[in-house]
Structure 1
């Protein structure tokens, strides 16, 4: 399987490297980064997720890519998080579908990196994978991610749902669902 590496003006979206795992664990252990997730992650669980991301890219050629800064052109480039595409969990009400998602180290927030990388991931979704639609979802209280979705040209479906992996009364249970079609993306 050909592993796709994508470039933006400032970023590489690439396969995961062993050196990414420790930084990813720091990201996942940060309460500020994880405030819209049910809990911070242990290093072991973080490594499990990174291994899964790495394996999915190996198997499919695409997925939740590791994101690194181009300004660091060395082999040990600066990993800042992930952005990419994946199949949604089967138990979500809009499955089957392909989602776009991101999680960046807080030191790189507010610089347009999530939007830049996600725009390129959407281009890959519509031009290379020839998808008709991509979805994104998050807790209703996660306004920063919703703003990224809006900058991407995604539309709030107004079809909120309770995430099936959370108790109905959990503060993060209610989620918004955004979508963008290939046609909407072409004219965004």
Structure 2
């Protein structure tokens, strides 16, 4: 007997649920697409997809949140991977961040905006965050425009170490709106 998934949050067109260990075939088409993953500078290998899912499961356990599988409310198809993340900054501090990876054939259709806005609501209302950040590569113009459209403003820079490379990132932030 299969149980219905529990959705962490919902938006106009989307439902967000936690990833499961058996979600490889669901998320691999996004994570293995080099064009979608250009900010990471490569599409993920089979093992990297497995490790990414395991990292999200670890984040759920340790932080209580991480990327969610973002499903189209009408079709049930995966539209994106998005959600709140704990981010490490250069100074050793952690910040509540957000991440969003939209399926490439859905780019320019408002899904990124819907994911980011839902994640911000979740962060402010459910996680009681005072501030949310996004760490974005300087050449990722689409994500920079999306972040700014959703109210995040540049506040600094940081460097992430990934696959033996130093990758500069801009830090954009938004404060909790006044109630």
TM-score (norm 1): 0.81
Partner Cα separation in structure 2 for residue 180 and residue 45 of structure 1: 31
Q: Whose strand fraction is larger, Structure 1's or Structure 2's? A: 2
Partner Cα separation in structure 1 for residue 174 and residue 92 of structure 2: 14
- Shift >4 Å, 4+ stretches: 58-61
Alignment length, in residue pairs?
173
Q: Name the structure 2 match of 1:41.
A: 44
Question: Deviation digits for residues 59-108 of structure 1, max 9, x if unmatched?
Answer: 65532111000012xxxx2112211011113x634731111011121011
Partner Cα separation in structure 2 for residue 78 and residue 59 of structure 1: 28
Q: Name the structure 2 match of 1:179.
A: 173
Q: Name the structure 1 match of 2:19.
A: 16
Contact 1:81 1:105 in 2 (8 A): yes
Partner Cα separation in structure 1 for residue 92 and residue 79 of structure 2: 30
Q: Which of 109, 114, 117 is the aligned partner of 1:116?
A: 114
Contact 1:10 1:70 in 2 (8 A): yes
Report the aligned-residue RMSD: 2.3
Q: Which of 1, 8, 12 is the aligned partner of 1:5?
A: 8
SS in 2 for 1:92: coil
User: Any gaps of 5 or more consecutive residues in structure 1?
Assistant: none
Contact 1:4 1:61 in 2 (8 A): no
Partner Cα separation in structure 1 for residue 100 and residue 122 of structure 2: 15
User: Any gaps of 5 or more consecutive residues in structure 2?
Assistant: 1-5
